[in-house]
Structure 1
Amino acid sequence: MVMGSGSIDVYDLKIDLTSGIKEVLEKTGKDAAADIANNSPTGTTGRYKAGWTSQLINGGKTVAIYNNGKDATLTHLLEFGTAKRTTKSGKNTGVMSPREHIRPAYNRAKAKYLNDLNKIIIKPE
């Protein structure tokens, strides 16, 4: 089989997904922070639950979800559990079981983020 001679024109296709990804990332961060707050253990004050927030970092390429409240230091203790205080006589009173609320919210947010990325409408420049 002999191929004919001809020419093919190739054009660059310029597509900018940055703004779409940034919007999805920002929404995912806000939703994940709200999910963590909704599933956070509640103490007497509710300060731990109220401290969850999100912020775009790294030039809008990453979202940080964190607790900036007065009880922010409790995240590791609540998520993974800890030994309870010992009594004055030195007797161990047991352990506080973990109350996972961060990892499950992360897993849900990750699945939703990947799904939402597929919904970005591609518009050539």
Structure 2
Amino acid sequence: MRYLSVQIQPERSPGIDVERISELFQELADRDDLVLRHSFDNGQDNGAYFNFTFGTERPAELWFAMQELIFLAQEHQSHMAAASMAMCSGEAGWDQYAQLYHWNPEVPVVPATAL
């Protein structure tokens, strides 16, 4: 199983609707065809953060669904671009992960097809 994880740092994008985005992540978590397990948590570490982690055997398909539902949705797109990052664990765990998305455009990301 691989893990796809998204972190949102809401202070990076004032006005972000974390409650609605959390609901959308829950919709994805309810998809038995893509998600085997999930965990959501939040906390404070030099600012608030929200983590959404999904265990899946189909990481590329889950990432495409996540992009369509949240990252590319008109009402969330600019906020996600400013306040989020996404990564996927490698076959052997988090020692080799793929950075899928990052609020900082200078951070290199891999295409979903590489998953």
How high is the TM-score relative to the length of structure 2? Answer: 0.34
Point out the structure with the larger helix share.
1
How high is the TM-score relative to the length of structure 1? Answer: 0.33
Point out the structure with the larger strand share.
2
User: Higher Cα Rg: structure 1 or 2?
Assistant: 1
